[in-house]
């Protein structure tokens, strides 16, 4: 086994050699009493949080030393990632227009510009200064100070929507009514009624629409699903997944008027993961929720159960740090998914034959596989992705509406929601 910046601390701490390296670069690290709460993190993830005080230079030096360690007893399989879909017969690259040049849009723009056959062509923001900075960083040709101007541009092939959750519905509606293909960040909308309306418009206008659940295009997680389907861990029995990050008290993610709370921002990942891995939505759902002072869901635990015997224990929150990892257990073994699980590049297959480390590093940053699927769908004339179909998006939204109904979380301007049977 070779260690990397994506190796979880729980794996590093099993190795005396790795612990020595950690102590060399971060004295007192392995004896820190708070380490137990961070075992699901990788060093790379930890370096993004200021409280861990890991500088880029420290991370690089530590990872370089860790990479020199060769642990015995674990078979390592590394798969090189390549661009699977390339446009043929098109004079121009697929031209993307981006609404909302925030942090996640920057990641998608990096993936677009690194993918043969795609380019970031236009960006729109209510702040022209933000749009200009974004355009300089990603060599964008057109800058717009309104969303309307962007969707009116005939050169834009597809609109990517990455503004606030509460703005997704109106922004997507605007683009679809102009017959622009749309890739909209998750959650597609605030609730199922809004999602249903967008889907109806897309189908009426015969226009492509997809929710940007980039996790489902991750090659490492697709390998995980393949291993389970092959019976590598026997009959699947249990799924565990956590996505919990503590946000600042003044974060917009705490405000109901912006669709705040843990569920729509973070919980959608473990929920989608569990349903995707089993291939079915649950038969029974129970949950427990602690609300924030602003009235949105702060810390949540959800249990899914299927009549066929499988169970999923899911947790997510904006008021605490969690492992951000996942685990799938079967009758003959289990698979650990590195943190953060939705963007995992490494999984560990544990069976009676030993442990296999399977690594599929991203070609760019992980969003490129979603970009490729959008390119493929548009080039083939498909109006929705078979990997991320609209029916699944709608059913997930109905499930989340049901959870919010149980907790009494209703957003401003929203009619009372009810639990809807899937």
Confidence of residue 74 (pLDDT cuts 50, 70, 90): confident
- Tokens matching residue 17: 């050699």
pLDDT digits (tens, 9 = 90+) for 224-241: 999 999 999 999 999 999
Per-residue pLDDT of 230-281, as tens digits, reads 999 999 999 999 999 999 999 999 999 999 999 999 999 999 999 999 999 9
With cut-offs at 50, 70 and 90, classify the pLDDT of residue 417.
low
CA dist 418 and 422 (Å) reads 12
d(CA 26, CA 55): 11
Give the closest residue to 337 by CA, choosing from 7, 3, 2: 7
DSSP conformation letters of 386-406: SSS-HHHHHHHHHHHHHHHHH
Dihedral (CA of 390, 364, 243, 125) sign? negative
Would you say residue 88 has pLDDT above 50?
yes
Residue 419 has pLDDT above 60, yes or no: no
Distance between CA 207 and CA 132 in Å, rounded?
A: 29
pLDDT given for residue 416 in this prediction: 60
CA distance 163 to 150: 14
Distance CA 75, CA 1 (A): 6
Q: Where are the beta strands (DSSP E) in 24-176?
A: 74-78, 94-99, 118-124, 142-144, 158-161
| Residue predicted with more confidence, 416 or 149 | 149
Give mean pLDDT, residues 350-355: 92
Residue 30: exposed, middle, or buried by beta-carbon count in 10 A (0-12, 13-18, 19+)? middle
Cα 164 to the chain's mean position, in Å?
16
Query: How many residues are recorded in the chain?
Result: 422
Tokens of 63: 């990872």
Question: Sign of dihedral through CA atoms 380, 104, 184, 300?
Answer: positive
pLDDT at 198 over 60: yes
Task: Return the residue matching tokens 């040709």.
Answer: 141
Q: Which two tokens stand for residue 412?
A: 């401003």
Other beta carbons within 10 angstroms of residue 158's beta carbon come to: 24
Give the 3-state secondary structure of residue 86.
Answer: coil
Mean residue pLDDT of the chain comes to 93
Alpha carbon distances (Å) from 17 to 21, 22, 251, 300: 6, 9, 40, 37
Give dist(CA 230, CA 224) in Å, integer: 10
At 171-187, the pLDDT tens digits run 999 999 999 999 999 99
Q: In the predicted model, is pLDDT for residue 70 greater than 70?
A: no
Nearest to 164 by CA among 77, 104, 74, 94: 104
pLDDT value at residue 1: 56
Q: Is the pLDDT of residue 50 over 90?
A: no
> Which pLDDT does position 15 carry in this prediction?
81
Are 297 and 291 contacting, i.e. CB atoms less than 8 angstroms apart? Answer: yes
pLDDT higher than threshold 70 for residue 214: yes
| Mean pLDDT, rounded, for 207-236 | 98
**Strand order across the beta sheet in which 209-212 lies:** 142-144, 118-124, 94-99, 158-161, 181-185, 209-212
Q: How many CB atoms lie within 10 A of CB 315?
A: 22
Residue 71's pLDDT band, with cuts at 50, 70 and 90, is low
- Rounded CA separation 201/194 (Å): 11
Q: Which two tokens stand for residue 329?
A: 């257990």
pLDDT above 90 for 2:
no
Three-state secondary structure of 252-320: HHHCHHHCCCHHHHHHHHHHHHHHHHHCCCCCEEEEEEEECCCCCEEEEEEEEECCCCCEEEEEEECCC
Distance CA 311, CA 329 (A): 10
Q: What pLDDT band is residue 422 in, cutting at 50, 70 and 90?
A: very low
Handedness of CA 135, 141, 146, 148 (dihedral sign): negative
Checking DSSP bridges between strand 94-99 and strand 118-124, what pairing results, if any? parallel
For residue 418, the model assigns a pLDDT of 54
pLDDT above 70 for 375:
yes
């Amino acid at each position: 086994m070779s260690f990397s910046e994506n190796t979880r601390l729980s794996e590093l701490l099993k190795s005396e050699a790795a612990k020595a390296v950690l102590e060399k670069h971060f004295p007192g690290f392995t004896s820190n009493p708070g380490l137990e709460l961070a075992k699901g993190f990788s060093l790379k993830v930890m370096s993004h949080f200021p409280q861990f005080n890991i500088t880029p230079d420290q991370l690089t030096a530590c990872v370089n030393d860790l990479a020199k360690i060769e642990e015995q007893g674990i078979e390592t399989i590394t798969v090189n990632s390549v661009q699977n879909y390339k446009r043929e017969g098109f004079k121009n690259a697929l031209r993307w227009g981006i609404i909302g040049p925030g942090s996640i849009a920057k990641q998608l723009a990096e993936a677009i510009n690194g993918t043969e056959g795609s380019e970031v062509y236009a960006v729109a923001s209510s702040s022209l200064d933000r749009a200009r900075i974004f355009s300089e960083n990603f060599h964008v040709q057109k800058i717009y100070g309104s969303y309307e101007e962007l969707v009116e541009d005939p050169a834009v092939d597809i609109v990517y929507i990455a503004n606030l959750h509460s703005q997704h519905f109106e922004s997507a509606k605007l683009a679809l009514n102009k017959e622009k293909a749309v890739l909209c960040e998750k959650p597609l909308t605030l609730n199922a009624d809004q999602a249903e309306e967008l889907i109806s418009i897309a189908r009426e206008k015969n226009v492509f629409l997809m929710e940007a659940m980039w996790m489902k295009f991750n090659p490492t997680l697709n390998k995980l699903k393949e291993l389970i389907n092959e019976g590598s861990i026997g009959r699947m029995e249990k799924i565990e997944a956590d996505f919990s990050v503590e946000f600042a008290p003044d974060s917009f993610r705490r405000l109901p008027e912006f669709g705040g709370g843990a569920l729509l921002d973070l919980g959608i990942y473990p929920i989608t993961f569990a349903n995707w891995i089993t291939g079915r939505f649950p038969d029974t759902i129970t949950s427990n929720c602690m609300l924030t002072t602003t009235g949105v869901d702060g810390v949540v635990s959800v249990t899914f159960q299927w009549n066929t015997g499988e169970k999923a224990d899911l947790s997510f929150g904006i008021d605490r740090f969690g492992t951000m990892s996942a685990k799938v257990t079967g009758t003959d073994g289990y698979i650990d998914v590195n943190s953060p699980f939705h963007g995992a590049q490494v999984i560990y297959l544990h069976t009676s034959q030993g442990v296999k480390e399977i690594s599929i590093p991203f070609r760019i940053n992980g969003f490129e596989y979603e970009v490729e699927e959008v390119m493929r769908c548009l080039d083939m004339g498909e109006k929705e992705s078979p990997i991320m179909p609209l029916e699944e998006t709608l059913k997930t939204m109905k499930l989340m509406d049901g959870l919010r109904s149980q907790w009494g979380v209703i957003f401003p301007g929203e009619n009372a929601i009810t639990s809807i049977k899937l």
